[in-house]
């Protein structure tokens, strides 16, 4: 009951007999007695399918999910965007879901072509020539960008803007402990990175729009003369100049906004794109077009000599399993959006953001954290602490935003997606006014 082993007792006996064995335990003869687990696992016995679903349902109900009862104004790298039926239903076709990494291209053209299309779409958004087949998430994509930059620049020092998502910066520091890269954080001055005039970093990492929602000056970052690494919001690509067109060498980002639900933060999608010249240092998988024996167009993972299974300790990265299914989902969602839809989506986010920001700032005691121009997200100072606002607003039926740490001066980070209606925003603002005073 509740397990998925098909063997009947009779069949097990037959199979043992074929091997001249008389019990299943004999199969484990290689394991020294002393190491055998006596008494079995301290894990509750198996449950039937409906019992499992009842328990999972209980846990799900112990969360307050975003929806009509908790209207979402939180972002900070995880956004409540529309996910149409098409994207869900195509992404969860079992051929995509239950395939392994495409090691046998002859029977993996489905995933390979979807990834080829994904790579093409990402390069178009990033404005550089190469995109890989996905990394884990935005943070680890930043880490790989830093590693690539240090390797190609030959310089250990990397300037990281404090406009980069705080947890992403933490992840960068975590992994720098292993690589020994010298990570220097550059503070924001009224909402934008104030790059030092001198110092010779191998690379600079800036987020666009940055964590506070403000638009950064990429040219200024480029003027540092270092390799330019941009962590770009892919939705903003519907309105902004591409990072590549502004000199970015590597463009990374979080792909969650394209078809992936909030999901407590994962699985998400690490976007990674770079200029052609860096392709041999590209982390992760790359799909390329080629031909089969009958000269039919075919796709295959390529430049594999960068990868760990071949290069081993000299590999450009250790990544093996990535986030392919989420990349396929992203390709489907972007194709559903299309050229006009992507721009429309970005425009709708920007409109809601402006409308909400103006309304919130009209509440007395609510101050802008910065005057720098924003696009789809913004930060405000609030009379009471941001986390208090969030708790109180939850009782009013809103996820008010993401509370900012004190090093940002407290307050609240508010994101408004294309899903937010005027009615929802007006109700949000009314509740906000009520709870902050």
Partner 1 sequence: MQMPGGKATSAPIMGRDEEPTIFELSSPGRNAASFRTTDLPEWTAEELVPAEHLQAEPTPVCEVSERDLVAHFTRLTHRQYSVDLGAYPLGSCTMKYNPKLCDDAASLPGLTDVHPAAPPSLTQGWMELLADLASILCRVTGMHAATLQPPAGASGELTGLLLMRAWHADQGRQRTKVIIPDSAHGTNPASVTLGGYETVTVPSDSRGCVDVAALRERLDTDVAGIMLTNPNTLGLFEEDIAEIAAAVHDVGGLLYYDGANLNAILGVTRPGDMGFDIVHMNLHKTFAVPHGGGGPGAGPVAVSERLTPYLPGPIPVLGDDGSYRWDTPPKSIGRVHSWHGNALALARAYSYILANGGDGLRKVAEAAVLNANWLRHRLRGVYDIPYDRPNMHEFVASTTSLKKADGLKAIDVAKRLLEEGFHAPTVYFPLIVEEALMIEPTETESPQTLAALGDALEAIARSPEGAQAAPRTTPVGRVDEARAARQLIPTWDARP
Count of residues binding a second copy (CB under 8 A)? 9
State the minimum distance, in angstroms, from the CB of residue 23 to ligand PLP. Answer: 29
Cα–Cα distances in Å, from 189 out to 183, 319, 328, 339? 19, 36, 39, 35
Residue 148 structure tokens: 């690539």
- Supply the DSSP symbol for 28: G
Find which of partner 1, ligand PLP, a second copy, none residue 185 binds, CB within 5 to 8 Å per kind: none
What is d(CA 148, CA 138) in angstroms, rounded to the nearest whole number? 15
- Residue among 49, 62, 309, 371 that touches a second copy (CB under 8 A): 49
Counting other chains too, the contacts that 59-65 makes at CB distance below 8 Å and 24 or more residues apart are 64/394
Residue ranges binding ligand PLP (CB under 6 A): 320-321
Closest CA to 262 of 421, 44, 75: 75
User: Using an 8 Å Cβ cutoff, are 248 and 218 in contact?
Assistant: yes
Which CB, 318 or 421, lies closer to ligand PLP? 318
Cα–Cα distances in Å, from 170 out to 140, 142, 262, 332, 430? 10, 11, 21, 31, 36
State the minimum distance, in angstroms, from the CB of residue 320 to ligand PLP. Answer: 3
Find which of partner 1, ligand PLP, a second copy, none residue 111 binds, CB within 5 to 8 Å per kind: partner 1
Q: List beta partners, residue 374.
A: 214
State the minimum distance, in angstroms, from the CB of residue 82 to a second copy. Answer: 6
Which CB, 161 or 322, lies closer to ligand PLP? 322
User: Using an 8 Å Cβ cutoff, are 325 and 96 in contact?
Assistant: yes
Cα–Cα distances in Å, from 295 out to 82, 237, 291, 341, 415? 41, 37, 5, 36, 50
Q: What are φ and ψ of residue 71, in 5° steps?
A: -70, 130
State the minimum distance, in angstroms, from the CB of residue 322 to ligand PLP. Answer: 8
State the minimum distance, in angstroms, from the CB of residue 416 to a second copy. Answer: 16
State the minimum distance, in angstroms, from the CB of residue 315 to ligand PLP. Answer: 12
Build a one-symbol-per-residue string for 299-318: x at contacts with a second copy by CB under 8 A, - elsewhere: --------------------
Which CB, 1 or 177, lies closer to a second copy? 1
- Residue among 192, 278, 348, 419 that touches a second copy (CB under 8 A): 419
Find which of ligand PLP, partner 1, a second copy, none residue 388 binds, CB within 5 to 8 Å per kind: none
- Find the binding residues for a second copy in span 65-104 (CB under 8 A): 82, 84-85, 89, 93-94
| Binding positions for a second copy, rule: CB under 8 A | 49-50, 82, 84-85, 89, 93-94, 419
């Amino acid at each position: 009951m509740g397990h998925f082993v098909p063997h009947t007792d009779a069949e097990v006996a037959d199979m043992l007999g074929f091997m001249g064995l008389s019990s299943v335990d004999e199969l484990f003869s290689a394991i020294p007695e002393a190491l055998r687990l006596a008494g079995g696992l301290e894990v509750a016995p198996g449950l039937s399918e409906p019992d499992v679903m009842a328990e999972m349902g209980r846990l799900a109900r112990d969360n307050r999910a975003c929806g009509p009862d908790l209207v979402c104004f939180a972002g900070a790298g995880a956004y409540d965007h529309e996910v149409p039926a098409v994207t869900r239903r195509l992404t969860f076709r079992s051929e995509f879901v239950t395939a392994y990494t495409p090691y046998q291209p002859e029977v993996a053209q489905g995933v390979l072509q979807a990834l080829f299309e994904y790579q093409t779409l990402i390069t178009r958004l990033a404005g550089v020539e190469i995109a890989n087949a996905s990394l884990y998430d935005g943070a680890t994509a930043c880490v790989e960008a830093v590693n690539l930059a240090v390797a190609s620049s030959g310089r250990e020092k990397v300037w990281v803007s404090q406009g980069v998502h705080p947890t992403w910066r933490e992840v960068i520091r975590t992994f720098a402990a292993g690589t020994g890269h010298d990570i220097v954080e550059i503070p924001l001055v009224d909402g934008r990175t104030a790059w030092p005039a001198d110092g010779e970093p191998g690379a600079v990492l800036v987020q666009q729009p940055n964590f506070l929602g403000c638009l950064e000056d990429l040219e200024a970052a480029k003027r540092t003369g270092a390799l330019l690494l941009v962590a770009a919001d892919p939705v903003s690509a519907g309105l902004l100049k591409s990072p590549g067109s502004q000199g970015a060498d590597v463009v990374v980002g979080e792909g969650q906004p394209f078809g992936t639900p909030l999901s407590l933060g994962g699985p998400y999608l690490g976007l990674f794109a770079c200029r052609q010249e860096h392709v041999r240092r590209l982390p992760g998988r790359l799909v390329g077009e080629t031909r089969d024996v009958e000269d039919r167009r075919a796709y295959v993972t390529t430049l594999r000599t960068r990868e760990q299974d071949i290069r081993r300790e000299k590999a450009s990265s250790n990544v093996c399993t990535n986030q392919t299914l989420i990349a396929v989902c992203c390709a489907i969602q972007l194709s559903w959006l299309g050229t006009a839809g992507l721009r429309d989506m970005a425009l709708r986010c920007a409109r809601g953001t402006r409308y909400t920001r103006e309304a919130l700032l009209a509440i007395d005691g609510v101050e802008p954290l910065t005057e720098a121009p924003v696009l789809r997200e913004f930060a405000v100072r609030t009379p009471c602490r941001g986390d208090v606002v969030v708790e109180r607003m939850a009782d009013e039926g809103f996820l008010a935003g993401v509370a900012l740490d004190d090093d940002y001066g407290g307050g609240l980070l508010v994101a408004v997606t294309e899903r937010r209606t005027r009615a929802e925003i007006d109700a949000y603002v009314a509740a906000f006014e009520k709870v902050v005073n």
